[in-house]
């Protein structure tokens, strides 16, 4: 089974130890840090632990973190994946489009309302989240 996912414009590749510095750079970006990391700065060692855990999760559960790479430019613009947060029963979807954030910062100051992530059990999951859950083989999704 291949863990590489492709669309017309993007390639999703599992994050490996070789991508440690790239993932760290994304996670310490001030905007990513503010909205994903509760404004905490992750040390390189902590990110290395995340990468190891992601690789183990790919082997054991068929889920983890993928880099988002453009096909034409072969540029990593962010990451996506399923991750265990908050002691939930099922992993949660995390998406960071660092390229979009970088472009947005050039245009105007960021507004928290535009990036706020509202999660509710009553909300319908996006089609991408459903596809990702199906890809990793979840039998039932609530």
In this prediction, residue 14 has a pLDDT band, given cuts at 50, 70 and 90, of: very high
Tell me what pLDDT residue 83 has: 86
Q: Taking 70 as the threshold, does the pLDDT of residue 15 lie above it?
A: yes
Q: Cα–Cα distance between 24 and 79 in angstroms, integer?
A: 11
- When mean pLDDT is compared across 22-31, 37-46, 99-108, the lowest value belongs to 99-108
Please report the DSSP string for the chain in residue order.
----EE-SSEEEEE--GGGHHHHHHHHTSHHHHHHHSTTPPPPHHHHHHHHHHHHHHHHHHS--EEEEEETTT--EEEEEEEE--TT-SS-EEEEEEHHHHHHHHHHS---HHHH-----TTSPPPHHHHHHHHHTT-S---
Q: Is the pLDDT of residue 99 over 70?
A: no
Would you state the pLDDT for residue 87? 76
Give the pLDDT of residue 100.
60
pLDDT reading at 109 higher than 60: no
- Sheet of 92-97: strands edge to edge? 5-6, 10-14, 65-70, 76-83, 92-97
pLDDT digits (tens, 9 = 90+) for 30-78: 888 887 888 899 999 999 999 999 999 888 888 899 999 988 889 898 8
Q: What angle do CA 122, 86, 99 make, to 5 degrees?
A: 80
What's this model's pTM, rounded to 2 decimal places?
0.68
Mean pLDDT of the chain: 76
Q: What is the pLDDT of residue 112?
A: 39
Task: State residue 55 phi and psi, 5-degree precision.
Answer: -65, -40
**pLDDT band, residue 136 (cuts 50/70/90):** low
* Structure tokens that stand for 43 in this block: 């040390």
């Amino acid at each position: 089974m291949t863990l590489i996912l492709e669309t017309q414009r993007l390639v999703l590749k599992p994050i490996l130890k070789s991508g440690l510095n790239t993932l760290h750079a994304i996670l310490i970006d001030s905007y990513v840090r503010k909205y994903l990391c509760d404004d905490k700065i992750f040390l390189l060692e902590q990110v290395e632990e995340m990468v190891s855990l992601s690789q183990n999760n790919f082997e054991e559960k068929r889920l983890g973190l993928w880099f988002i790479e453009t096909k034409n430019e072969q540029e990593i613009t962010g990451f996506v994946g399923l991750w265990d947060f908050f002691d939930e029963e099922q992993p949660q979807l995390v998406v960071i489009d660092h390229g979009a954030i970088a472009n947005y910062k050039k245009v105007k100051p960021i507004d928290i309302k535009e990036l706020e992530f509202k999660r509710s059990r009553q909300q319908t999951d996006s089609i991408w989240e459903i596809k990702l859950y199906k890809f990793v083989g979840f039998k039932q999704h609530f």
